[in-house]
Structure 1
Amino acid sequence: MKKYKLRKNAEFRTVYRRGKSISNELLVLYIYRNGKNNFNRFGVSVSKKVGKSVVRNRVRRLIKESYRLNSHELKQGYDLVVIARTNSKGRNYKHIEGSLMNLFKKAGILNR
């Protein structure tokens, strides 16, 4: 649904500026507490450094799918932006999912 997505450049910039960042070898997570909502909003950014459009879209799909399948385990009320690093190119779903869950754990928003 649209309300669960970060879409506008200004929304991404707010998360970058005011949020805190956590990273590992594949991904960077920016997290910002958005006091006004009781749900999470999620955005993905994959730069051209990662590869051509086919590669970037595959990485984006893997990140979005691993978020979708694990979003029920997260605390609510955050704006989240995930940035793919160049190392994420050519990785399979399990690597991406493990990396994303590791970031959520580091950020302290995992309800496990």
Structure 2
Amino acid sequence: MKKAFRIKKNEEFQSIFKNGKSFANRQLVIYYVKKIDQEHFRIGLSVGKKIGNAVTRNRIKRFLRQAFQDLGDTIQDHYDIVIIARNPTKDMGYEEIKKSLTHLLYKEKLLNK
């Protein structure tokens, strides 16, 4: 995932949490805010220490990044999206995480038709 597609700064995360909309399922929480001046979507990932050790957290982040890369063409532009992983994700494989992420994006109408 290119740097232009990432959210890294804490101020940006806090702004999305404060001003954005949220939706959740059992495995993931999504926060998103529309940014008209952006040409493409950006993502931020958050996997807390309660989920597991560094190896587990990095695996979940890797799966989420790959899922976003696979879904890249179908995600609407002009959005900042933050994904927070919940505890059940530690036992999930790539396909399950991608399915859960797709479900969230579809429910919130962030996927192109």
Q: Shared fold (TM-score greater than 0.5)? A: yes
State the Cα distance separating 1:8 from its structure 2 match: 0.3
Deviations 1:37-88 (A, max 9, x none): 1210111000001101010000110111001110110110000000000110
Cα distance between partner residues in 2 of 1:81 and 1:45:
7
Partner residue in 2 for 1:11: 12
Offset of residue 101 of structure 1: 0.2
- How many angstroms apart in 2 are the aligned matches of 1:16 and 1:77? 17
- Tell me the CA shift for residue 2 of structure 1: 1.6
TM-score scaled to structure 1, two decimals?
A: 0.97
Query: Residue type matched to 1:36 in 2?
Result: D
Question: Is it true that 1:27 corresponds to 2:31 in the alignment?
Answer: no
CA distance in 1, matches of 2:55, 2:93: 15
- CA RMSD in angstroms, aligned pairs only: 0.8
Which residue does 1:95 correspond to in 2? 96
Match of 1:64 in 2: 65
| SS of 2:12 mapped into structure 1 | helix
Q: Distance in 1 between matches of 2:14 and 2:70?
A: 26
5+ residue gaps, structure 2: none
Unaligned 5+ segments in structure 1 are none
> How many angstroms apart in 1 are the aligned matches of 2:61 and 2:67?
10
Deviations 1:92-112 (A, max 9, x none): 111100000000001101113
Code of the residue aligned with 2:57 in structure 1: it is R
Pairing 1:37–2:12 present: no
Amino acid across the alignment from 1:87: P
1:22 Cα deviation from its structure 2 partner? 0.7
Tell me the SS of whatever aligns to 2:26.
coil
The number of residues matched between the two structures is 112
State the TM-score, normalized to the length of structure 2: 0.96
Percent identity among equivalent residues? 35
Amino acid at match of 1:101: T
